[in-house]
């Protein structure tokens, strides 16, 4: 299997990284996820257009003392795909340049924590049923008169 590229479908997944913590919400299932360890680094590379193989090589470069970094990266990417947080892109592209230098921090296995306790509430959110005008939006005068 060759290198795969991914994209995040904004109709399915929203994500945010704040202070090194990455949170993802799967809008279709109402499940939310937290990435830990090197997970936020890997996520950042993937959403910036890196292939899974390039990301694995990059983590191996950032953490040369940890020979399992590339293998852990590949397994983590497969878990993200299994949870439908990433969609595979079509066609090859150039590898992005400008990777960070090794951080000097020790390697921490990437981990994906899955939470289902808010599914009911996240699926009730009216933002899932958005019209072309977005939400919230003002009703036009004709609709208000009905």
How do residues 36-95 score in pLDDT, each as one tens digit? 999 999 999 999 889 999 999 999 988 888 889 999 999 999 999 999 999 998 766 556
CB 107 within 8 A of CB 66: yes
Query: Sorting pLDDT into bands at 50, 70 and 90, what band is 7?
Result: very high
Report whether pLDDT(105) > 60: yes
pLDDT of residue 136: 46
Report whether pLDDT(122) > 90: no
Mean pLDDT across 2-6: 88
pTM beyond 0.85: the answer is no
Q: How far is CA 144 from CA 7, 108, 131, 139, 141, in A?
A: 40, 56, 17, 6, 5
């Amino acid at each position: 299997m060759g290198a795969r590229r991914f994209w995040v479908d904004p109709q399915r997944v929203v994500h945010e990284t704040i202070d090194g913590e990455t949170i993802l919400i799967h809008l279709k299932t109402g499940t939310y996820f937290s990435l830990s360890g090197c997970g936020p680094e890997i996520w950042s590379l993937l959403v910036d257009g890196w292939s899974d193989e390039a990301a694995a090589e990059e983590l191996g470069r950032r953490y040369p003392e940890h020979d399992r970094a590339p293998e852990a990266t590949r397994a983590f990417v497969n878990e993200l795909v299994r949870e439908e947080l990433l969609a595979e892109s079509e066609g090859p592209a150039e590898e992005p340049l400008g990777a960070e230098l090794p951080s000097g921090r020790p390697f921490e296995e990437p981990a994906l924590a899955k939470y289902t306790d808010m599914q009911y509430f996240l699926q009730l959110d009216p933002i899932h049923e958005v019209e072309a005008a977005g939400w919230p939006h003002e009703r036009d005068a004709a609709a208000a008169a009905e």
